[in-house]
Chain A
Amino acid sequence: MRPFAYETAADVASASRFGREAGQGQTDAPTQFLAGGTTLIDLMKLDVLRPQRLVDINPLVARHSEIEVGPDGLRIGALAKMSAVAAHPEVLATYPALAQSLQLAASPQLRNMATLGGNVLQRTRCTYYRDPSWTACNKRQPGSGCAALEGVNRNHAVLGVDENCIAQYPGDLGVALIALGAEVELGGAAGARRIPFAELHRPAGKPHVETTLKSGELITAFRVPAGPWTRRSLYLKVRDRASYEFAIASAAVALDMDGEVVRQARIGLGGLAYRPWRAEAAEASLKGKPLTEETAEAAAREALSGAITHGHNAYKPELGRRTMVRALLAAKTMEA
């Protein structure tokens, strides 16, 4: 690991000042915030992230890790631990998809360490990204190419990709947040603002720039609006092992039903896409229709219709469709 200067920040303003060079998720950013460290320290050991300065934001835990459930929705401080949110009784009862996305992620030890803010900003597990001995990786080194296009790409994304990068967004929480229409509260030296979670991660194009954060900006909280669909929601994760593994396909589904008929469906997909992915066309295709195997399958075809495969990951569109259908039909049987 390369040498770095270590600072601790007492509040958001000083963290943002120390972190003014933290960038927008660039791999070569000279400054990184240290939350749980489970992405950051891992990638520093692998010599992928090479910050000259770490800004430890753990002193912010006391003021930015509260979990509040109210009539308008859910608000969670960005330094809340994955394990605390996953086990929170009101989150489990009212936002089950969100609790499950955390519960099914990583391991108990990692969930005790990792924060929600760090979770949504975790980096891809693309093996070429994680190993700097591969020179071709546009995400690490803009313009260098993409080793995965012709390489081992079984785990790579099929939605939202282009010829520059086919990396999969690996997180589970982001899939639930996008389905539930979450917002992100940001804070920094230049003041506070709020953006839709769907706008936090950039679409394909410039893979080395991952987020729309202003340099030095911190995520301070997540907001999930209340709605008639939140209780009838779930997260379904398909993976190579029974536990402790990233998704190869996943779906977060939330339904507002009028008897058999869908008033509103909200669908997020994971393990399949370049960034947290909302299946809006599929949602629209279900609106006002009874939810049956046929309508669910039609929606799933719609959701995966733009899929682009690269050999080893050719199985993903079909797996994605089946995952989405299973999630929709399972959510239908839930008590709302």
Chain B
Amino acid sequence: MVLNINGRDQHLKVDVRTSLLDALREHLHLTGAKKGCDQGQCGACTVHVDGKRELSCLTLAVAVQGRKINTIEGLAGADGGLHPMQQAFIDHDGFQCGYCTPGQIMSAVACVHEGNARTDADIREYMSGNLCRCGAYPNIVAAIKQARSSMERG
């Protein structure tokens, strides 16, 4: 099958049962997206499909051929400069162990694009699909606010 990942077509031979998450991690060695629950409950596997945040663990790879998939590995600029959301998570210590972080960042970028990061309450509600076992939530909210400002400035 052919998957379009971070702007490039990738050819792979996998079983039809393979989730998009396993295709990314096990077959394309893009290990940014994490396997937390593998059941749609934690958000660690969040990627963008045609620009929208979705869960790669509940997605069959075979079913997203022809769609544009973006992962955390494709977020930084071509020059390697960090995306404002990545920088903001560092500036505000938006993580402890870091396991949930790629999912948090992918979800947060989409949350800002959707216009659902206007208030603290909105950020909490619209980031509720990303669980953090370390409880870094207050710093994650602060990071998203900083990144929102710089993303809006462009």
B-contacting residues of A (Cβ < 8 Å)? 1, 3-6, 34, 37-38, 41-42, 45-46, 54, 56, 58, 83, 106-110, 112-113, 242-244
Cα–Cα, bound, A95→B43 (Å): 30
Cα–Cα, bound, A6→B61 (Å): 12
Instruction: Tell me whether B58 and A108 are in contact (CB under 8 A).
Output: no
Cβ–Cβ < 8 Å partners of B116 in chain A:
108
Cα–Cα, bound, A108→B104 (Å): 12
Instruction: Tell me whether B58 and A42 are in contact (CB under 8 A).
Output: yes
Nearest-CB residue, chain B, relative to A38: B58
B124 within 8 A of partner (CB): yes
B 60-75 binary contact with A (CB < 8 Å = 1; else 0): 1011000000000000
Nearest-CB residue, chain A, relative to B19: A41
Instruction: Tell me whether A243 and B128 are in contact (CB under 8 A).
Output: yes
List 11 extra interface pairs beyond A1-B17, A58-B63, A108-B129, CB under 8 A: A4-B16, A6-B16, A6-B60, A34-B63, A38-B55, A41-B60, A45-B38, A107-B128, A107-B130, A108-B126, A109-B107
Q: Tell me how far the C-beta of B71 lies from the nearest C-beta in chain A, rounded to whole angstroms.
A: 14
- In the complex, identify which listed stretch (B6-14, B46-54, B142-150) lies at the interface while the others stay far away: B46-54
A-contacting residues of B (Cβ < 8 Å)? 15-17, 19, 38-40, 43, 46, 52-55, 58-60, 62-63, 107, 110-111, 114, 116, 124-126, 128-130
Instruction: Tell me whether B111 and A108 are in contact (CB under 8 A).
Output: yes
Contact of A108 among B38, B40, B63, B110 (CB under 8 A): B110
Cβ–Cβ < 8 Å partners of B128 in chain A:
107-108, 242-244
Instruction: Tell me whether B19 and A243 are in contact (CB under 8 A).
Output: no
Cα–Cα, bound, A243→B129 (Å): 9
Cα–Cα, bound, A113→B129 (Å): 13
Instruction: Tell me whether B17 and A4 are in contact (CB under 8 A).
Output: yes
Cβ–Cβ < 8 Å partners of B126 in chain A:
108
Instruction: Tell me whether B63 and A113 are in contact (CB under 8 A).
Output: no
Q: Tell me how far the C-beta of A285 lies from the nearest C-beta in chain B, rounded to whole angstroms.
A: 35
Cα–Cα, bound, A243→B116 (Å): 15
Cβ–Cβ < 8 Å partners of A42 in chain B:
39-40, 58
Cβ–Cβ < 8 Å partners of B16 in chain A:
3-6
Given A45-B38, A244-B128, A109-B62 contact (CB < 8 Å): no
Instruction: Tell me whether B124 and A37 are in contact (CB under 8 A).
Output: no
Closest CB pairs A-B (n = 7):
A107-B129, A243-B128, A244-B128, A112-B52, A41-B58, A1-B17, A6-B16
Q: Tell me how far the C-beta of B51 lies from the nearest C-beta in chain A, rounded to whole angstroms.
A: 10
Cα–Cα, bound, A68→B150 (Å): 37
Given A6-B16, A56-B63, A112-B54 contact (CB < 8 Å): yes
Instruction: Tell me whether B63 and A244 are in contact (CB under 8 A).
Output: no
Instruction: Tell me whether B43 and A107 are in contact (CB under 8 A).
Output: yes
Instruction: Tell me whether A109 and B63 are in contact (CB under 8 A).
Output: no
Cβ–Cβ < 8 Å partners of B63 in chain A:
6, 34, 37, 56, 58
Cα–Cα, bound, A5→B15 (Å): 11
Cβ–Cβ < 8 Å partners of B129 in chain A:
106-110, 244
Q: Tell me how far the C-beta of B22 lies from the nearest C-beta in chain A, rounded to whole angstroms.
A: 11
Instruction: Tell me whether A45 and B39 are in contact (CB under 8 A).
Output: yes
Cα–Cα, bound, A174→B16 (Å): 32
Instruction: Tell me whether B43 and A109 are in contact (CB under 8 A).
Output: yes
Q: Tell me how far the C-beta of B121 lies from the nearest C-beta in chain A, rounded to whole angstroms.
A: 10
Contact of B62 among A6, A38, A113 (CB under 8 A): A6
Cβ–Cβ < 8 Å partners of A243 in chain B:
124-125, 128
Instruction: Tell me whether A109 and B59 are in contact (CB under 8 A).
Output: no
Q: Tell me how far the C-beta of A114 lies from the nearest C-beta in chain B, rounded to whole angstroms.
A: 9
Instruction: Tell me whether B19 and A113 are in contact (CB under 8 A).
Output: no
Instruction: Tell me whether A113 and B55 are in contact (CB under 8 A).
Output: yes
Cα–Cα, bound, A5→B124 (Å): 40
Cβ–Cβ < 8 Å partners of B53 in chain A:
108-109, 112
Q: List 10 A-B contacts (CB under 8 A).
A: A3-B15, A4-B16, A42-B58, A108-B107, A109-B46, A109-B55, A110-B40, A110-B129, A112-B53, A244-B129
Nearest-CB residue, chain B, relative to A8: B63
Cβ–Cβ < 8 Å partners of B111 in chain A:
108
Q: Tell me how far the C-beta of A125 lies from the nearest C-beta in chain B, rounded to whole angstroms.
A: 11
Cα–Cα, bound, A54→B63 (Å): 11
Contact of B59 among A37, A45, A242 (CB under 8 A): A37
Nearest-CB residue, chain A, relative to B59: A37
